[in-house]
Amino acid sequence: MNDLNRVRVLRGLMLALIWPASALAQITTLTAPDGEADDSFGYAVAISGPTAISGAWQNDSVRANAGAVYVYEQNGDGSGWEFSIKLVPNDDDFAGDQFGIAVDIDGDRLIAGAPFDDEAGNDRGAAYVFQRTAIGRATWAQSAKLVADDGAFRDFFGSAVAISGNLLVVGSPEDDDLGTQSGSAYVFERDPDTDQWLQTAKLTAGNGERGDRFGSAVAISGQTVLVGAADHNHEGVNNQGAAFVFRRTDSGWLEVATLAASDGDELDRLGFSVAIDGDLALIGAPFDDDPDHTGGAAYVFQRQPGSDVWLESEKLSALDAGLGDQFGFAVALAGGQALLGAINDDDSGEDAGAAYVFNRDLGGDTWSQVAKLTPLAGTAFDRFGFALALGEGLGLVGAPDHDPAAVDEAGAAFLFQLPDPPADDIFQDSYED
């Protein structure tokens, strides 16, 4: 037995010990009640409290590839999840707008991107905000349509979105301010008196350049925004990738850190996916292929107390990593728990996909894999793990190429009960103005 196979056997034994059946409980499978072939339901997912959402950007119910977002609510007694409402924009949802290609939710508000929207110009893009208008099901209404104040041809504003309280950020990865497809991200803030969302900042990387696609992944936590630029040539290394940290100050948004891998290499594409929670950031590099991380990797960065200094604390990879698994394709983070997708994992069939749960060790700065998730009905080429979200003890995993009820690539999202996170891990943000 060669060394690589010996390592895989040992990893397999470790996995059998750390995956109790109770930790892998699949609660339900979410699918579109009107799903059709190639809808790509599960391409983007989000969860907040008793509400889960999924984007289906190729849904054709309005026009071809106009897109839709589906909302699901947990029963009041916690016994299950049910479809609530299908959302489409109030304005004429044109063919190919791809509404729902990116989604996020926070409490009673959700946001969905439509990067091919043409209202402000060809493929300039848009993002839509919906508000829950009353307690109960099917009570969501569009409250805003957002476009960039300087949008231009094929900027694809809306390719990535994030919302937290009265802040939201929208990625525009092919904006050309710093060169062709250098990218940008726009910050909007809600005026509580008027309930209007106002563009208050446009973010670009201080060392941005053509082809970076800055803004292809975005995340918010508190007063901090994290923006991925997977095609950034960090320190001259082609497509090594990076992520950029911005903090809101009294004078506006300040770029405070560039996060790059200590062992970054060509074509790793760090920043392909990003997540942030308090003083922790998780950044995916799904094309990392160094000898110990052949199936992709993700990096944890931690902000030092009371400062704008972020330090790499750990590099994560799957215990049973396989070549080309693309671990880190999607990431989610909540306190001391992380969820990471590997869309080409082969456990349920070729490129069926998987998702991994990591917990931060109690009272420490190291992370351990505690579970591997695969769906009960997983099949080859599902791309399970393409999109991820963490809720209160829940993990939502998108599989946009899954074939529910034999409907080819209609897509699905799978909801899991996760192992408990570390008891001492709560949201924290050590920076104080």
- Indicate if the pLDDT at residue 423 is higher than 70: no
Contacts for 382 with CB less than 8 Å, ≥ 6 apart:
348, 349, 351, 352, 353, 375, 399, 401, 402, 403
Residue 182 resides in a domain: yes
Split at pLDDT 50, 70, 90, the class of 47 is very high
Q: Which pLDDT tens digit goes with each residue over 58-77? A: 999 888 889 999 999 998 77
The string of pLDDT tens digits covering residues 83-99 is 999 999 998 667 789 99
pLDDT band at 136 (very low <50, low <70, confident <90, very high): low
Q: HSE of 12 in the Cβ direction (CA atoms, 13 Å)?
A: 8
DSSP 136-154: SSS-EEEEEEE--TT--TT
DSSP three-state, residue 9: helix
Nearest to 208 by CA among 186, 187, 177: 177
Instruction: Tell me the two tokens of residue 426.
Output: 């709560």
- Residue 142 within a domain: yes
Task: Note the pLDDT tens digit of each residue in 402-419.
Answer: 999 889 999 999 999 999
In a domain, 427, yes or no: no
Distance CA 137, CA 157 (A): 30
In this prediction, residue 79 carries a pLDDT of 74
| pLDDT at residue 228 is higher than 80 | yes
Mean pLDDT across 383-403: 97
Residue 61 lies inside a defined structural domain of this protein: yes
Per-residue burial over 331-342, b = 16 or more CB atoms within 10 Å of its CB, e = otherwise: bbbbbbbbbbbb
The model's confidence at residue 292, banded by pLDDT at 50, 70 and 90, is low
Q: How confident is the model at residue 430 (pLDDT cuts 50, 70, 90)?
A: low
Q: Is there a contact between 385 and 399 (Cβ–Cβ < 8 Å)?
A: yes
Q: Is the CB of residue 219 less than 8 Å from the CB of residue 274?
A: yes
315 contacts: CB under 8 Å, gap ≥ 6: 261, 263, 293, 297, 298, 299, 300
What domain count does the chain have? Answer: 1
Give one DSSP letter per residue of 208-251, joined into a string.
Answer: --TT--BTSEEEEETTEEEEEETT--GGG-TT-BEEEEEEEETT
- pLDDT band at 326; cut points 50, 70, 90: very high
Query: Which amino acid is it at 314?
Result: E
d(CA 287, CA 313) in angstroms, rounded, equals 20
Q: For residue 65, which phi and psi values (nearest 5 degrees)?
A: 55, 25
pLDDT at 16 over 50: no
What is the dihedral sign for C-alpha 222, 282, 314, 8?
positive
Q: Which two tokens stand for residue 275?
A: 């997540």
In this prediction, residues 319-343 reach a mean pLDDT of 95
Tell whether the model's pLDDT for residue 140 goes beyond 50: yes
Q: Select the more confidently predicted residue: 406 or 362.
A: 406
Strand order in the sheet with 126-132: 102-106, 109-114, 126-132, 140-146
C-alpha distances in angstroms, 142 versus 64, 133, 146, 279, 334? Answer: 21, 10, 11, 33, 28
* 238 falls within a domain: yes
Under 8 Å between Cβ of 46 and 39: no
Quick one: pLDDT band at residue 429, thresholds 50, 70, 90?
A: low
Neighbours of 326 (CB within 10 A): 25
How many other C-beta atoms can be found within 10 angstroms of the C-beta atom of residue 176? 16
Q: Which residue has the tokens 């924009």?
A: 89
Q: What is the pLDDT of residue 243?
A: 98
Cβ-based neighbours of 364, under 8 Å, separated by 6 or more: none
Specify whether the CB–CB gap between 404 and 384 falls below 8 A. Answer: no
Of residues 230 and 11, more confidently modeled = 230
Question: How many other CB atoms are there within 10 angstroms of residue 29's CB atom?
Answer: 17
pLDDT given at position 167: 98
Residue 112 in domain: yes
Q: Residue 364: how many CB atoms within 10 A of its CB? A: 12
pLDDT at 214: 98
Q: What angle do CA 293, 371, 30 make, to 5 degrees?
A: 110
For residue 129, the enclosing domain spans 26-417
Give the pair of three-digit tokens for residue 244: 């950029």
CA-based nearest residue to 417, from 373, 358, 385, 369: 373
Six token digits for residue 298: 């993700």
**What is the pLDDT of the chain when averaged over all its residues?**
90
Provide the pLDDT confidence category of residue 2 given band limits of 50, 70 and 90: very low
Asked if the structure places residue 7 within a domain, the reply is: no
The secondary structure element, H or E, covering residue 4 is helix 3-18
pLDDT at 194 over 60: yes
Indicate which CATH number applies to the domain containing 226. 2.130.10.130
Residue 21 forms part of a structural domain: no
Least confident of 30-34, 116-120, 227-231: 116-120
* pLDDT > 70 in the chain, percent: 90
Better pLDDT: 374 or 153: 374
Give the pLDDT score at 424.
57
DSSP 159: S
